[in-house]
Amino acid sequence: MKFESPLFDKIRVKPSQDRRARAPETPCCEWKGCNEPSTHRAPKGRDRADEHWRFCLAHVREYNASYNFFAGMSTDAVSKYQKDSLTGHRPTWKMGTGNVPGGSTVGPNAQDPLNLFREFNSGSNWRRKPERVEPKRTIRNAERKAFETLGLDIGAETVEIKARFKELVKRHHPDANGGDRVYEEKLREIITAYNYLKSVKLC
Q: Which domain holds residue 184?
A: 141-199
Choice among 102-111, 112-121, 138-147 with the minimum mean pLDDT: 102-111
Residue 20 is assigned to a structural domain of this protein? no
From 24, 95, 33, 78, select the one nearest 59 (Cα to Cα): 33
Residue 148 is assigned to a structural domain of this protein? yes
d(CA 147, CA 11): 109
Q: Residue 99 above 60 pLDDT?
A: no
pLDDT in tens, 27-78: 889 888 898 888 888 888 887 878 888 999 999 999 888 888 888 889 898 8
**Mean pLDDT confidence for 121-144:** 66
Reduced DSSP (H G I as helix, E B as strand, rest coil) percent helix, strand, coil of the chain, to 5: 35, 5, 60
d(CA 142, CA 122): 51
pTM of the entire predicted model: 0.34
Residue 55 is assigned to a structural domain of this protein? yes
The pLDDT value recorded for residue 122 is 47
Shared domain check, 147 and 117: no
